[in-house]
Amino acid sequence: MNNVFVIGLGLIGGSMMLDLKYMEEGTTVYGIDHNEDHLDHALELGIIDKKADLNDLGTADLVIVSIPVNALVNQLGDILDRVKDDCLVIDTGSTKKLICEAVANHPKRRNFMAAHPIAGTEFSGPQAAIRDLFKGKTNIICEVEKTAFRLQERALAIFSELGMRIRYMDPVSHDKHIAYVSHLSHISSFMLGKTVIEKERNERDIFDMAGSGFESTVRLAKSSPDMWTPIFEQNKVNVIETLDEYIANLEEFKKLMEEDNFNAIYERMENTNRIKEILNGIIIKTT
């Protein structure tokens, strides 16, 4: 793993490089990004050692591709064209079906591992990169059988050193499940932020009254639209399905309030409190 390339110097790519640089002595990290400021910041912060471009990929031993999913679909084939036969290419995209389909028949499909580390914050850019971001986090791998076995072993060793737990899933199931546990959360946060901003135009004190509950719920609304709009587009069918169910629950809640049926509201909330047990069980089970 002497020559590591990262394409996309945002939170995920930058954080991964901060850890990978120190995992093996003699590793040189090369950065590729269409944003020259990102490259400069990454150099200043010690995330990368050198700037590079796609023409340099022939020397890569490992390539981490952490760019918006629409760009991934368009560029992944070209990236695979440029790497040598024993190079491992890993993506970090939040959708998987269209990405896997884009390179399904590529001659170097065996060099590619489709991965989705469930990690991150609401911040973006190389300045958001942090050490140990992936420790204890789940990493979903899709179509592992299509990656060459020797490259699978290398990838799993890297993920292990990063401290990630591994789950295997087919791309269709991944996109369906992630729509509920990630994509819907971001939409809810964006729309809550939008609602409050619109109200704030008339009530200037509204943010002065915002407590920790509002802050934690709206946190994801600070996420990058450049990253999230393509995610919603690629996972449109699943996201709409989750929205239909979510909106139905909101409409039911509103109807119960209109009917002064607060006993039913209490029951709904009490039943939903089970989420604490479910999440605690998942954490205990996977640690």
Q: Looking at the chain, which residues constitute the CATH 1.10.3660.10 domain(s)?
A: 173-286
pLDDT, one tens digit per residue, over 96-141 is 999 999 999 999 999 999 999 998 777 788 888 899 999 999 999 9
Distances (CA, A) of 176 to 94, 100, 106, 183, 235: 11, 15, 25, 10, 8
pLDDT band at 84 (very low <50, low <70, confident <90, very high): very high
Options 3.30.2350.10, 2.70.98.10, 3.40.50.300, 3.40.50.720; CATH of 3-170: 3.40.50.720
Question: Does the model's pTM come out above 0.75?
Answer: yes
SS3 at position 10: coil
Rounded average pLDDT over 21-48: 91
pLDDT band at 279 (very low <50, low <70, confident <90, very high): low
Q: Which residue's structure tokens are 């918006």? A: 68
Sign of CA dihedral 43, 45, 48, 52: negative
Q: Check: CB of residue 140 under 8 Å from CB of residue 115.
A: yes
Q: Estimate the crossing angle of helix 69-82 against helix 225-234, to 10 degrees.
A: 90
Using the predicted structure, report yes or no on whether residue 198 has a pLDDT greater than 70.
Answer: yes
pLDDT above 90 covers a percentage of the chain that reads 73
| Helices (H), ranges, the chain | 11-20, 36-44, 69-82, 97-102, 149-162, 171-178, 184-200, 212-218, 225-234, 236-258, 262-272, 274-286
Using the predicted structure, report yes or no on whether residue 25 has a pLDDT greater than 80.
Answer: no
Rounded average pLDDT over 213-228: 82
Rounded average pLDDT over 184-200: 87
Per-position DSSP letters for 44-79, written without gaps between them:
HTTS-SEE--GGGGGG-SEEEE-S-HHHHHHHHHHH
Q: Which CATH superfamily is domain 173-286 in?
A: 6-phosphogluconate dehydrogenase C-terminal like domain (1.10.3660.10)
Rounded average pLDDT over 211-228: 81
Taking the C-alpha atoms of residue 98 and residue 230, their distance in angstroms, rounded to an integer, is: 12
Q: Check: CB of residue 217 under 8 Å from CB of residue 190.
A: no
Q: How far is CA 176 from the centre of its chain?
A: 15
Q: Are strands 3-7 and 28-32 parallel, antiparallel or unpaired?
A: parallel
Using the predicted structure, report yes or no on whether residue 92 has a pLDDT greater than 80.
Answer: yes
Rounded average pLDDT over 85-101: 97
Using the predicted structure, report yes or no on whether residue 286 has a pLDDT greater than 50.
Answer: no
Q: Which residue's structure tokens are 């809550």? A: 192
Count CB atoms within 10 A of the CB of residue 167.
15
Mean pLDDT, the chain, rounded, equals 90
Q: Looking at the chain, which residues constitute the CATH 3.40.50.720 domain(s)?
A: 3-170
Q: Which residue's structure tokens are 């009917």? A: 259
Lowest mean pLDDT among 14-18, 24-28, 48-52, 145-149: 24-28
